[in-house]
Amino acid sequence: MSKIGKQPIAINQGVSVEISPQDVKVVGPKGNLMLKIPKGIVVSQEGGQILLTSSRKSKKGVSQYGTTRALLANIVKGVSEGWVKGLELVGTGYRAEVVGGDLVLTVGYSHPVKITAPEGITFKVEKTNITVEGIDRALVGQIAANIRSVRPPEPYKGKGIKYQEEFIRRKAGKAAKTVGAPA
* Distances from the Cα of 134 to the Cα of 30, 51, 129, angstroms: 9, 25, 17
Question: Residue 133: enclosing H or E segment and its boundaries?
Answer: strand 129-134
Query: Of 44, 39, 42, whose CA–CA distance to 18 is shortest?
Result: 44
pLDDT at site 59: 80
Rounded Cα gap, residues 91 and 132, in angstroms: 20
pLDDT in tens, the chain (183 residues): 568 888 999 998 899 999 998 999 999 999 999 999 998 899 999 988 999 988 877 788 778 888 999 999 999 999 999 999 999 999 999 999 999 989 999 999 999 999 999 999 999 999 999 999 999 999 999 999 999 999 999 999 989 999 999 999 999 888 766 665 565
Give the domains, in start order, of the chain with CATH numbers. 3-80 (3.90.930.12), 83-163 (3.90.930.12)
Asked whether the beta carbons of 17 and 11 are under 8 A apart, the reply is: yes
End-to-end CA distance of the chain: 64
Question: For residue 128, what pLDDT is reported?
Answer: 93
Q: pLDDT value at position 45?
A: 92
